[in-house]
Amino acid sequence: MPHLSPDEIVRAALQISHTRLRRQHELVVGFAVQALTLTSLDDLLTQACETAALGMDTPFAKVLQPNDDHSAFRLTHGVGWKPADIGNAAVGSDEASPAGYAYTTSRPVISNHLGQELRFRTPALLNEYGIERAINVPVRGTAGIFGVLEADSRDGDDFIESDVVFLEGLANIISMAVERLATKEEANSPHVYSESVLNASPDCVKILSRTGEVEFFNEAGLCRMQIRDLADIAGKPWIELWPECSKQVIEDALVRVGNGESVRFESFCPTARGEPRWWDVTAAPVLDPHGEIDKIIAVSRDITERHEQEVRFAALIEAQNTKLTESGLHVAETHHRVRNSLHLVNSLLLLQANLSMEEAVQTQLQIAANRVMTIANVHEHLYQDAHCAALSAPAYLRSLLSDIRTAFGEPHIEWSVDDFQLPPERMAPLGLVVSELVTNALKYGQGKITVTIERDAEDARIKVTDEGTGFPESYPKPSGTGLGMRLVKSYSGYGEDAITLDRSSGLSSIEVRFKV
């Protein structure tokens, strides 16, 4: 055997290392291609072990997965081991075991001298086979650690960091392939939805049959509704989970969804243990490949805290109004204090909007602030004209529209208001209706906004027009909770008959009939 110089030894070692790296790279690429075609999880994991053994130049490789109670690992797939050991042999899952350390810390582990290790004990299985070296990498999944991929050797060269890169490449392919197979299995099941995706939602998500029976509840939903197991409610009509006071709302929603609509509503439903809960619910049809309704998906968000705050706020206002009445304070002083309080509420809402990181939340808070300021302006006029039995509508509306224009950065708004009087109790509703219509035009319309308010016998006709291309066919049916349109209908005095859309002009024009 010829004598080699130190430089020649280094070059030879580098050549061997380069060849090993190139081979490992080719094996990873080949396994990735195979993983795309494999349809069996067992075949996938066995192929991964065979590839790992080839790349590490060792007869031993295995996949370890935790038992149901995580008390130990089970050798589920492998090469080089006795057939009786595969599926049965156990390895410790604590951090004193190399595999347990990799699983617990989600970090790879190399141990080239198991018998001399102070960090780890040598698992009995490895002792039985005379294993001296082990390398473990975690197989990470979307829901947590899937298991551990391990290569073992009785002799040969030490494992090195590049071997970790090779095994981690295989582990990443396993992770992606496992997710692909799980998704495919769900897609081929009777369900046309992904349970893993639905379980990732923090809201209460239900899948119902076309006729409204419960088929699926996600994990968060079972927890929030305090339902022990899906089997307790599977197959039951969804409407039976609601109390009597809410069943009409649910029945109406199911009818609308059955007609192909998406609906949103708020209603009361206690948990299975009787704890009171309020829910913001969205329900929509799920269509099959032929466009027919196959399922219904319902997503419920717990709004109990918000509802309780609204109730407390209403009770506080009622108590304050009662207290003011009983104390005999002058009406003007009452309005003055309420106006100041409303200005404070407006400032707090705007502050909260500025602090919020979500644009949708900012928008809703700003809308709420505008509504509060509309009421505040009414109280200012009531305070100034406390001795009057009726107030001038033009004076108040000019002031209101001027404030709105200032708040929205001086957009082009023109207005024309007939001269008529209103009793104080109708001034705030008029202001809220006008404010809602103008705010909607500013948010969704285009160009100049024209506001016309005409007195017509016992009514006022409020017309708001912008230079947009008109309203969608579904308008004014709300896309969300529809609070703005509900306010308009309620305060107009004519309910559902209050709103008229002019679709003939090519512009966005809405008219509201208001009872004076």
pTM assigned to the model = 0.39
- Does any domain span residue 314? no
**318 domain residue, yes or no:** no
Query: Which CATH number characterizes residue 288's domain?
Result: 3.30.450.20
- Is residue 310 domain-resident? no
Q: How far apart are CA 338 and CA 121, in angstroms?
A: 74
Q: Give CA–CA dist 212/298, Å, rounded.
A: 10
For residues 25 and 43, membership in a common domain is answered with yes
Please indicate, yes or no, whether residues 396 and 501 belong to a single structural domain of this protein.
Answer: yes
Query: Would 324 be classed as within a structural domain?
Result: no
The pLDDT of residue 477: 57
Query: Do residues 172 and 160 lie in contact, with contact meaning Cβ atoms separated by under 8 Å?
Result: no
Rounded alpha-carbon distances, angstroms, from residue 179 to 44, 192, 196: 12, 17, 10
If phi > 0 it is left, if psi is from -120 to 50 it is alpha, else beta; for residue 419 that is: beta
- CATH label of the domain that carries residue 428: 3.30.565.10
Identify whether residues 266 and 208 lie together within a single domain. yes
Same domain, 361 and 408: no
Phi first, then psi, for residue 204 (nearest 5°) are -85, 110
Query: Are 154 and 14 found together in one domain?
Result: yes
* DSSP per residue, 257-295: HHTT--EEEEEE---TT----EEEEEEEEEE-TTS-EEE
pLDDT at 479: 47
448 C-beta neighbours (distance < 10 Å), count: 13
Q: Cite the beta strand spans of 80-193 per DSSP E.
A: 90-92, 109-111, 133-141, 144-153
CB contact set of 202 (below 8 Å; sequence gap of 6+): 220
Q: Do 412 and 444 sit in the same domain of this protein? A: yes
In a domain, 129, yes or no: yes
E strands, 89-143, are 90-92, 109-111, 133-141
In b/e form, how buried is each residue of 353-368, taking b as 16+ CB within 10 angstroms?
A: beeeeeeeebebbbbb
Q: Which stretches in the chain have pLDDT values below 50?
A: 1-2, 4, 6-10, 12-14, 16, 189-192, 478-480
Query: Do residues 353 and 475 both lie within one domain?
Result: no
Which three-class secondary structure state does DSSP give residue 91? strand
H/E stretch holding 348 reads: helix 331-355
Residue 315 lies in a domain: no
Strand, coil or helix: 134: strand
Whether residues 490 and 477 share a domain: the answer is yes
Q: Using CA atoms, how far apart are residues 98 and 154, in angstroms rounded to an integer?
A: 16
- What the block records as the tokens of 3 is 């004598």
Q: Rounded to whole angstroms, how far apart are CA atoms 375 and 396?
A: 11
Same structural domain, 414 and 514 = yes
**53 and 169 part of one domain:** yes
Looking at the fold, whether 23 and 135 belong to one and the same domain comes out as: yes
* Residue after which a domain boundary falls, among 338, 357, 387: 387
- 32: helix, coil or strand? helix
Q: Does residue 514 contact residue 461 with C-beta atoms inside 8 Å?
A: yes
Instruction: Name which of 112, 105, 111, 102 is nearest 171 in CA terms.
Output: 102
Q: Cβ distance 270 to 237 under 8 Å?
A: no
Q: Which domain holds residue 396?
A: 388-516
The pLDDT, as a whole number, for residue 190 is 47
Residues 350 and 280 occupy one common structural domain: no
Domain end marker among 131, 163, 188: 188
DSSP 159: P
Least Cα distance to 154 among 77, 60, 16, 76 occurs for 60
Cα dihedral 377, 381, 382, 387 in deg (nearest 10): 180
**Cβ atoms within 10 Å, residue 502:** 15
pLDDT the model gives residue 9? 43
**CATH number for 93:** 3.30.450.40
Question: Last residue of a domain, which of 270, 304, 338?
Answer: 304
Residue 324 in contact with residue 336, Cβ under 8 Å?
no
pLDDT at 1: 41
321 falls within a domain: no
Residue 90: inside a domain: yes
Q: Are 221 and 203 in contact (CB under 8 A)?
A: yes
Q: Which residue has tokens 């705030």?
A: 428
Nearest-5° angle of CA 111, CA 117, CA 118? 130
- Count of domains in the chain? 4
pLDDT in tens, 352-396: 777 777 777 777 777 777 777 776 766 666 556 555 667 788 888
Considering only CA atoms, which of 225, 222, 217 is closest in space to residue 269?
A: 225
- Using alpha carbons only, give the angle 246, 249, 253 rounded to the nearest 5 degrees: 140
Q: Output phi, psi for 430, to 5 deg.
A: -60, -45
